[in-house]
Copies of this chain bind each other. A is one copy, B any other.
Amino acid sequence: MCMHDEAATHYIDMIDQTTMGHRFLKEEFGVTPRIGWQIDPFGHSAVQAYLLGSEVGFDSLFFGRIDYQDRAKRKNEKSLEVIWQGSKSLGSSAQIFAGAFPENYEPPAGFYFEVNDNSPIVQDNIDLFDYNVQDRVNDFVAAAVSQANITRTNHIMWTMGTDFKYQYANSWFRQLDKLIHYVNKDGRVNALYSTPSIYTDAKYATKETWPLKTDDFFPYADRENAYWTGYFTSRPAFKYYVRLMSGYYLAAKQLELFKGRMNSGPNTDSLADALAIAQHHDGVSGTEKQHVANDYSKRLSIGYKEAEQLVASSLACLVESASFTGCQNPVTKFQQCPLMNISYCPPSEVDLNQGKNLVIVVYNSLGWRRNEVVRIPVSNEDVIVYDSEGKEIVSQLLPQAEVYASLRNYHVMAYLGETPAKAPKYWLAFTVSVPPLGFSTYRVSAAKGTVAGPTRSSVYTYQTSETSKIEVGQGNLRLTFPPNQEKFTNYVNTRNSVEEQIKQSYLYYSGYNGTDDEVPQNSGAYVFRPNSTYLLKHERQVPLTVMRGPLLDEVHQQINPWIYQITRLQKEKEHVEVEFTVGPIPIDDGIGKEVVTRISTSMETNKSFYTDSNGRDFIKRIRDYRSDWDLEVNQPIAGNYYPINLGIYVKDNSTEFSVLVDRSVGGSSLADGEIELMVHRRLLLDDSKGVAEALNETVCVFDDCKGLIIQGKVYYRIDPLGEGAKWRRTVGQEIYSPLLLAFSEQDGDDWINSHILTYSGIDSNYRLPDNVAIITLQELDGGKVLLRLAHLYEIDEDKDLSAMASVELKKLFPRKKIKEVKEMSLSANQERTDMERKRLEWKVEGSFGSVDERVLRGGLVDPEELSVELGPMEIRTFIVYFESESDIKPFDV
C-alpha cells in the first residue's frame, strides 16, 4: 500500500501492509510483483531484504539512499549491486539481488524534464536556433558511459524522474521519446524504456557474480554532518500510536475471526488501511508535515473506533455464547480505554459504593498463557477483586501521582473536547492469568462491610529522606537507590546472583542551527545533528516517593520540571519497568532539544551493542565502525545511532544488559556499558531534507498550545550471558501485544452465572511453543483464514529455543475441520512452491559451492498431520480452508 519506512517500522506492520498491497494487486490486476522498489527510505533494513524481499518472492530490490561514504566506495569497487543476505539465520535461503543507485533516485544531471526544470530539451527542428540533437546525444552517451564505469555488466538503469515529477507526464515522455530515438540512431549505446524487471532479467542473464552484503544499510548519511538518525525518534507520540494500533489490530483480527467477519458493519478494514498507509517512509518515520501527521492520526483513530466496536461486540458474543443465536447484536456492552495511559477510563472510574460491580474481560492475543499485573484507575478506596472462578485475589491500590491529574485533564480536553470527571484517586493493580488467544474475567467490587483481609487492597506510600538508601522490589529483583540521586543504583537479582551498579540519567542534545557550516545543516525531522550535550540535573529538593505493596513497588521521581519518572518492579517479574513523562520540552531559550535517557553500567562491552532490525533479528553494532568500509567519523553521536523497534543490548564476559522499548526510537551505546535511547525531540529549524517545517509538536486546547508531552516505557534487565534472549523475545512479544481490557458493569454479581468467564480461541489444552508467535490470524473472504507463524529466535540466540519448533494446526482451530492448507509467500499472493520454483539463482562473489551455513527451515506440511515446523527466524504463511463455511462460527462448540 506504500513504500514503507525501514527504520521505524515493525516487521509485522511491514508484512501486513505489503500483504494488503500484494493481494490487492493480485485480485484487481492479477499481478504478482517481482521487484522491491524502496527508492526513498533513509537507510535500508535487513528485514526489508530477507523478509520483505526474498520471502515475498522478489527477484531484486532497488533503493536510492545509502551512506555517502559507502556509496563512494561501492562506486569505486563496482559494488553498488550486491547479493544481500539480510538474516544470518536464513542465510542464502533468503537472499536477494539488491542495487543502490549511483545518486539517490535522480536522472543523470541535465536530464530533468519537468515543466519547470532547466535541462535543455531535445530540439530536433534543425531550423531553430537551439537545435541540439548531437549535443544531447553526446550528453546522454557520456552519462551512460560514466555510470557503466561503476557498474558490473553492460546494463545500467536510469531512474528518469524524482520526487514530485511527472505532474505533467507529457513534458518528460516527449523528451525521452526523442532521446531514445536519436541515441539509438547514434548507436554507441542502446536506450530503451525499461522496468526494474527487465533490468533484473538482463543482469541475471549475464551470469555475473556479485559481492555479498550482510546486515543492513543503517545509519544513512547523505553527507558529512547529515546523519538521518533523528527520524528514528521523530514524532514519538505518533510512533507509539502506530505501535499501539498495530498490536490492537492483531488482536482485533483474532476476535473478528472468532465472531465471524462482516464485510459491512464494524470490521478491521479501516484500521488495516490506516495502519498500512502509516508505514510510509514519511509516515511513521515522523518526517511528514504536521498536517499530514494529523491526517495519519485521524485515519488511525477512525480505524480504531471501528475496530473497538468490533472488539466489543466480538467479546460480547463470546461472553454470551451460551445463549448465542447468530450474535449480530449481543446485549453486553463493553467499553475500552484507549486513554488509560493518562489514567482516563470512565468505565473503571465508576463509583462502586453504589452497588455496582466492575467486570473486566482481559484478552490475550498471544499463543501462550500470560500472568501479568494489570492496572486500572479506580475511584474507590476499598475494593476487592475476584477472578474468573469468583475467588478473591490479591490487589493493590497505588495513589495517582499528582502530575497525572493535570496530564489527564489537559489531554482529555485536547483529544476528546470535554472536561473529564474528577480524576480517580488510585490505580488498582492485580494479577491476571489469561489463556492463549483467549480471555479471563475479573470483577471488582466495593469491599464495604467486610473486614480487611490479605487480598483486600490498601495503600503503602511514603516519602524518602535524602539521607538513607531506599531498597525496592518484593521478588527476586531488588533495586537500591542511593541517598544522592546522582549516584549509582544497585541492581540485584537474588535468583541468579546478577548484581550491577547502574545509573539512569536524562540528557539533552542541543539541536545544531547550522549557521557555521559552509552548507548549513540543522538538526531536524530527518537529521540528528547535536550541538552539545547537557545533563538534566535531578531536582534534589523533591524527595523520592516510594509506593510498595504485595504486587509491585514504584519509585516516583520528578527529575526536573518537565520530566517525571516512575520506576516499577513487579514482584513476579525480573525486569525494571521505567515509565517516563517528558515534556513540554522548553524552547524559550530558542534552542531545540533532543532528550535521551541513558542507563550506564560498569560492563566492559568493547564498543559493541546489538539492535533489532524492525523488531526481528538483532544486528551487532560497533561504535565508530562500519563493516563495509573504513568509517570517517564526522558525527560521533548521530553517526552511532540506530533504529530500535524491539530492544537493544550490550554484553560482557558474564552478563548481558537488555533494554526493551514500547515504540520505535533511536538509540546507541556511546560508551561501554551504556545504553541510551532518544525519547523525545523538539526542534525549531528545518533540516532542509524535504519536510520544510520545524519538528515542533504541540498539543492544543482551542488556541492554547503547548509542547507535546511524551509518556512511554522502557524495560530493562540484566541476565547472565546467554540468558537474555528469552526475556527479550518473550517480554518483547508481550509489549507488542499488551493485554486487551474490556469493561462492563453490572448490578449485583450474577455475571458469573450468566456469562462465559474464560475462553480460548485455540484448543484449550494447547499452547504455542515458547519460540513461536501467531503474527497473523485473519479471516479472508469466503471463510478461509490467513495464518502466519513466526519463529521468534535467531540461530544460536538461545540454547534451547533456537531450535526447530512445531505447531499443530489442528489445535489452532478446535472448532473447525481443516480441508486444505496452502503455504503461501510471505505476502500471501502466490503459493510458496510457485515462488520457490521461480527463484533466481544468483552467483555470489567468492562463494564456490560449499558454504558454511546451518540454515534450518521447516519441511513441507503433511496434509494429514498438519504440523508446521519452523526453523529459527522462519515465518511461514498459510491460507487455511475449512470443510464448511458454517464451521467458521466459533460458538457451536
- Beta-carbon contact of B116 and A167 below 8 Å: yes
Instruction: Name the contact of A167 in the complex, choosing from B129, B168, B295, B298 (C-beta under 8 A).
Output: B168
Interface string of A292-322 (1 = CB under 8 A from B): 0001001100000000000000000000000
> Which of chain B's residues have a CB closer than 8 A to the CB of A587?
none
The reply to whether the CB of A340 lies closer than 8 angstroms to some CB of chain B is no
| Chain A 107-118 interface 0/1 with B at a Cβ cutoff of 8 Å (1 = within) | 000000001100
A471 CB, min distance to chain B CBs, angstroms: 53
Q: Which residues of B contact A298 (CB under 8 A)?
A: 129
Q: Write out the residue numbers on chain B whose beta carbons fall within 8 Å of the beta carbon of A116.
A: 116, 164, 167
In the assembled complex, the CB of A135 is this many whole angstroms from the nearest CB of chain B, namely: 15
B295 touching A129 by the CB < 8 A rule? Answer: yes
Q: Mark A137-179, 1 if CB is under 8 A from B, else 0.
A: 0000000000000000000000000001001100100000000
Q: Chain B nearest CB: distance from A658 CB in Å?
A: 41
Which residue of chain B lies nearest to A294 when distances are taken between CB atoms in the complex?
Answer: B129
Complex formed: what's the CA distance from A298 to B167 in Å?
34
- Give CA–CA (A295, B123) in the complex, Å: 15
Decide if B295 touches A115 in the complex (CB within 8 Å). Answer: no
Task: Give every chain B residue within 8 A of A299 (Cβ-Cβ).
Answer: 129
Number of copies: 2
What bracket does the count of chain A residues touching chain B fall in? Answer: 10 to 19
Proximity bits, A244-263, B CB within 8 Å = 1, else 0: 00000000000000000000
Docked CA distance A116–B171 (Å): 15
Instruction: Give the contacting residue for A168; candidates B129, B168, B295; CB below 8 A.
Output: B168
Chain A positions 118-144 with a Cβ under 8 Å from a chain B Cβ: 129
Residues of B within 8 A of A295 (CB): 129
Residue of B nearest to A170 (CB): B168
Closest-CB distance, A816 to chain B (whole angstroms): 36
Tell me the smallest distance from the CB of A100 to a CB of chain B, in Å. 29
A167 surroundings in chain B (CB, below 8 A): 115-116, 168, 171
A306 to chain B, nearest CB (A): 14
- Contact residues, A734-754 vs B (CB, 8 A): none
A302, closest chain B residue (CB):
B129
Within 8 A of B (CB), among A165-200: 167-168, 171
Nearest Cβ on chain B to A867's Cβ, whole angstroms: 46
Give the complex CA separation of A746 and B129 in angstroms. Answer: 39
Kindly state the separation between the CA atoms of A153 and B118 in the bound complex, as whole angstroms. 45
How far is the CB of A410 from the nearest CB of chain B, in Å?
25
CB nearest to A171 among chain B residues: B167
- How far, in whole Å, are A442 and B164 apart by their CA atoms in the complex? 69
Q: Mark A276-302, 1 if CB is under 8 A from B, else 0.
A: 000000000000000000010011000
**B-chain residues with CB within 8 Å of residue A171 when the two chains form the complex:** 167
Can you name the residue of chain B whose Cβ is closest to the Cβ of A299? B129
CB distance from A370 to the nearest CB of B (A): 38
CB-CB nearest in chain B for A169 = B168
Q: Which of A81-127 contact B (CB under 8 A)?
A: 115-116
User: Which residue of B is nearest A130, CB measured?
Assistant: B295
Residues on B with C-beta less than 8 A from A115 are 115, 167-168
Which residues in B have their C-beta under 8 angstroms from that of A129? 295, 298-299
Docked pose: A820 CA to B164 CA in angstroms: 62
Chain B, residue nearest A295 (CB): B129
**Chain B: minimal CB distance from A130 (Å):** 8
Write the A409-440 contact mask toward B (1 if CB under 8 angstroms, else 0).
00000000000000000000000000000000
A-B contact list, 12 entries, CB within 8 Å: A115-B115, A115-B167, A115-B168, A116-B116, A116-B164, A116-B167, A129-B295, A129-B298, A129-B299, A167-B168, A167-B171, A168-B168
Known contacts A116-B164, A129-B299; can you find 10 more A-B pairs with CB under 8 A? A115-B115, A115-B167, A115-B168, A116-B116, A116-B167, A129-B295, A129-B298, A167-B168, A167-B171, A168-B168
Pairs of residues from A and B, 10 with the lowest C-beta to C-beta distance, nearest first: A168-B168, A115-B167, A129-B298, A129-B295, A167-B168, A115-B168, A116-B167, A116-B116, A116-B164, A115-B115
